[in-house]
Amino acid sequence: MRSVRGLRTTLRTNLWDMTPRDHRQSDREFRRRQVVSVVVVLVGAVVLGYTLGFIEPTDSNRFYAATAILAGVWTVGAFTSGPLHLGRIGVPSDPDTHAPRPIVQPFLLGAALVLVFVAGSFLIRAVPFLDENLTPFIQTVLEYAREGNAWILLVVTVLNGIAEELFFRGAMYAAIRKHQVAITTVAYTVATLATGNVMLGFAAIVLGVIVGLQRRATGGILAPIITHLTWSVSMLYLLPLIFLGTAT
């Protein structure tokens, strides 16, 4: 019972209870974020769609260049929109004391997300209907991992994970007045669906909700970045073993 209560408290602190913060912005700053966010998400969706929709897995150099450009689009858009905040977690007992930065908690949450996706992957392989209809979408993405250089793929995965959170949970989140978690998740999913891959879209929904709630609770991008990287780097090495029978 105590462990269940502790887990509930941890999840509430990480995903629901909002750490006090003062991130007020003027109407002019808010409109600037809105304009930048709309332009950048459209450009990013085009680049992502081109990267995974028109570049063959064997064309590694073009793939690396396109993903680097995509990371640049998200990053430039994020910092152009206005100030970004790292965020803090919890409510300190002393009002003059800063709450700590979220580091361990988002890592553990990312690890839990990995377990969920791995379990889902084995379920897909075990059910013939799911295996027949969903595995091809997953294998299409994994071909880039199989054909590419392992170290470069790791760097690309890390850079794009950071860049996506800088933009979607940084700039775009701050450009929305209400329902930020839902709207940023939809935008992230729509941008991802530009690839035409439904499984990437599904992953974007799940990940977007989790990191969006983290952004809401902590008031910053650090927790979403840590969770995103824990999940994406793990998937880079685990999914090829499950769906291709090889390691990256």
Looking at residue 106, its pLDDT comes to: 95
The predicted model scores a pTM of 0.91
How far is the C-alpha of 79 from the C-alpha of 244, rounded, in Å? 38
Say if residue 214's pLDDT is above 90: yes
Q: Which of 56-70, 189-203, 212-226 has the highest mean pLDDT?
A: 212-226
Confidence of residue 185 (pLDDT cuts 50, 70, 90): very high
Q: Which domain holds residue 104?
A: 25-88+100-243
Mean pLDDT of the chain: 88
pLDDT at 1 over 70: no
Average pLDDT over residues 160-171: 95
- Report yes or no on 183 lying in a domain: yes
Locus of tokens 């999914």: 239
Following DSSP, what letter does each residue of 7-68 receive, concatenated?
Answer: HHHHHHHHHTSPPP------HHHHHHHHHHHHHHHHHHHHHHHHHHHHS-TT-HHHHHHHHH
- Indicate if the pLDDT at residue 155 is higher than 80: yes
pLDDT in tens, 58-99: 788 888 899 999 999 999 999 999 899 999 987 766 555 678
Q: What span, in angstroms and rounded, lies between the C-alpha atoms of 226 and 228?
A: 6
Does residue 5 lie within any of the structural domains? no
- Asked whether residue 120 is assigned to any structural domain, the reply reads yes
What is the predicted pLDDT for the residue at 233? Answer: 96
Do residues 17 and 89 make contact, with C-beta atoms less than 8 angstroms apart?
no
pLDDT at res. 239 = 92
Average pLDDT of 203-223? Answer: 95
Residue 13 lies in a domain: no
If one compares 106 and 53, the residue with the highest pLDDT of the two is: 106
Angle at 179 between CA 74 and CA 203, to 5 degrees: 55
Q: Domain total for the chain?
A: 1
- By the 8 A CB rule, do 30 and 101 touch? no
On the 0-12 / 13-18 / 19+ scale of CB atoms within 10 A, 233 is: middle
Specify the amino acid at residue 64. Answer: Y
Residue 9 lies in a domain: no
Establish if 1 belongs to a structural domain: no
CA distance 146 to 123: 22
One-letter identity of residue 169: R
